[in-house]
Structure 1
Amino acid sequence: MRRFHGLTALLLVVVLTGCSTTTDPDATNDPAEEFNRGVYAFNEELDTYVLKPASEGWTRVTTSGVRRGVDNFFSNLQAPGYILNDALQGKAAGAGRQSVRFVMNSTVGVLGIFDPADAWLGLEPRPEDFGQTLGVWGANSGPYLVLPLFGPSNGRDVTQYPVAHYTNLMTYIALDTLTMGSLTAINVVNTRARADGAAQLRDDSAVDPYVFTRSAYRQYRQDQIYDGNPPLEDDPYAEFFDEMDSDSNQAE
């Protein structure tokens, strides 16, 4: 549940990636698609009847500044994991920048609620997780998976969750179940509220939201692994639309 916010955070992929490319040698690689679609439908029902109403209520009683501060706070708690994965990927400069961010935001930024590291020094947050680390090391993504509550993933990226658990400071500051549950609920609802526009865009623009999410997730992860500079193919958009056409024809 520590990374439950990933379910809604992924909705931002639609806005962040658009039609960027991927170099996955097997475009679909979704052998458990029927099962995955079932889990996807469950997650969507959970979002429709629980997360979305809760996020709308949260939006009504908070300001955008409060929501940004909450997001900063929980992101800061994950900073030790970012630093570790930067180091494991051989990004000494990245680990150094994340360390400065963490110290500055934890102190001057009042436990990470504010982000003076970005505002004053231009040190933007660069999330790194163990799935990205394995990708940098050359591990194949493996089959596509949709996890209950957590959302899109794959055989490689599921490894990020246990590592994230033990490197997230919330694991150690929330010493009882009630505190952990309360903090997790705030994080989830706040993330869903900030992702509402992306969620609506996906639903309005995608012929098959499942395929759209699958493609967006792969492209987003590829972009993360290559730090925003993934290798291009001859036609960077062909794979995305070919995949959409293939799944649409099967549905008919």
Structure 2
Amino acid sequence: MLLPSFKFPPKPALRLIALIGVSLLAACARPDPSEATRDVFDPYEPQNRGMHEFNRGLDRALVRPVAKGYSTVIPDDIETVIGRFSTNLSLPSDIVNSVLQLNMRGAFHDTARLLVNTTVGLGGLFDPASEMGMPKGTNTDFGETLHVWGAREGAYVELPLLGPSTERDTWGIAVDLFTNPLSYIVESPESLIGTGAGVAAGLSKRSKFSDTIDAILYESADSYAQSRSIYLQNRRFELGGTSDRVYDDPYGALEPSGTLEESNVE
């Protein structure tokens, strides 16, 4: 008697499935006071403050001077092209997360933008999709996917290099390392091109918003509390604060992801 053959999914897919399952369990496991109030849930504040001081020292000694030097040496037009290229490389991950969120409209728009900018825009170096009036990218992540699935925000945490986050978004960052299909298609060392473009784009942003970031990190009375407040207000606003949960967005369209502390000011 012949039995039907069964093939297990490839190892990267198994790792992704396992991470998604662990992320949901971890994000939903503990009570979350921040769900019911606008208060900050920061039980790890002593450790977070220590990490904040590490990040601040690293920014002062390395990130800020490198970012200023990078923007001084690299022409603005080249910086813009590198930023477009980095954004285009992030679209496959956005598409995956939009599908997981059942946001099929966003997935369709991002797919169309990816196809146009990758072909007509020479791999994303140019942005003909915007010139054609196509919607902007969804700019989503697995932290937002967890939110859509009902996972709790969890405690506030400050991550090394990455800065402000929450437990939910920290799990999201970990899973997003595997959600971009390009990580399975493009082999090393070519895959390092995308990493380099992302770092370069982060340096550009650090330089562009230098005055605001410096004011938060080095001029405020309590830079840790300031960074925490700005990040949480923006992230909750971005995830859809309702009429009974209003979050001010003091710096405009802030982005929670990126390099050291830049999420506080965009």
Return the TM-score normalized by structure 1.
Answer: 0.74
- The alignment yields a C-alpha RMSD, in angstroms, of 2.7
Counterpart mapping for 1:91-102 below 5 A: 91-102=103-114
Amino acid at match of 1:202: I
Secondary structure at 1:90 match in 2: coil
- Hey, what does 1:81 align to over in structure 2? 93
Choose from 40, 50, 59 the match for 1:38. Answer: 50
Secondary structure at 2:158 match in 1: strand
Choose from 128, 139, 144 the match for 2:151. Answer: 139
- Hey, what does 1:217 align to over in structure 2? 231
- Hey, what does 1:60 align to over in structure 2? 72
Secondary structure at 2:132 match in 1: helix
The alpha-carbon distance between structure 1 residues 137 and 179, as it changes in their structure 2 partners (threshold 3 A), is closer
Structure 2 gap segments, 5+ residues each: 1-33, 249-266
Tell me, yes or no, if structure 1 residue 200 matches structure 2 residue 214. Answer: yes
Whole-angstrom distance in 1 between the partners of 2:200 and 2:39: 36
Mean alpha-carbon deviation: is it higher for 53-62 or for 206-215?
206-215
Return the TM-score normalized by structure 2.
Answer: 0.71
* Preserved CA contact (<8 Å) 1:23 1:231: no
Identity within the alignment, %: 30
Whole-angstrom distance in 2 between the partners of 1:49 and 1:152: 19
Divergent runs of 4+, >6 A: none
Structure ID, larger Rg: 2
Structure 1 gap segments, 5+ residues each: 1-21, 238-252
Tell me, yes or no, if structure 1 residue 109 matches structure 2 residue 148. Answer: no
* Preserved CA contact (<8 Å) 2:86 2:198: no
- Hey, what does 2:83 align to over in structure 1? 71
Whole-angstrom distance in 1 between the partners of 2:244 and 2:201: 37
- Hey, what does 1:233 align to over in structure 2? 244
Secondary structure at 1:45 match in 2: helix
The alpha-carbon distance between structure 1 residues 42 and 24, as it changes in their structure 2 partners (threshold 3 A), is farther
